Structure 1
Amino acid sequence: MVASSRLIAIVSPESAPVKRTIQEARDRGMVIDGTYGRRTRAVLIMDSDHVVLSALQPETVAARFAGDSEEGGSEDE
């Protein structure tokens, strides 16, 4: 889980600047790999300089964040 209030950007990992950002964060120990061994499809940039790697598409992650803000925090368990 990621706090939506701390999220700065959701980007695709394909471009050279994003790859460089991931590598720099790895060198600093600021990468959180949430891919479970799958291919990285989205990169979440946090306000704490952490970089979160996700196996979900950027559009899917963005839709989940948008749905989270519309729900008002209610969760069904």
Structure 2
Amino acid sequence: LDIQLVSDNLTDVTLLRIGNIGSFEQHSVSLKPGRYVAVGRRAGYREVREEFTVGFGLTPVSVVVQCEERIVISNRR
């Protein structure tokens, strides 16, 4: 089944059990039925994980994976 992954062209996306996809705005991937986790990483931002199910009437039209929450580093003394 085809799934459309959507990102911001800044986040590095990895689909667990499948492999690294990299940075993109839209990427189509063909997946077998099952549960998947897309992980997004971007320097200076909190990692994101998007879990989704393919098949069984639960297939999403698209999955958005983009890091938006900036990590604030505070100097504690």
Shorter-chain TM-score: what band? under 0.3
State the TM-score, normalized to the length of structure 1. 0.22
> Which one has a bigger Cα radius of gyration?
2
Q: Higher helix fraction: Structure 1 or Structure 2?
A: 1
Q: Higher strand fraction: Structure 1 or Structure 2?
A: 2
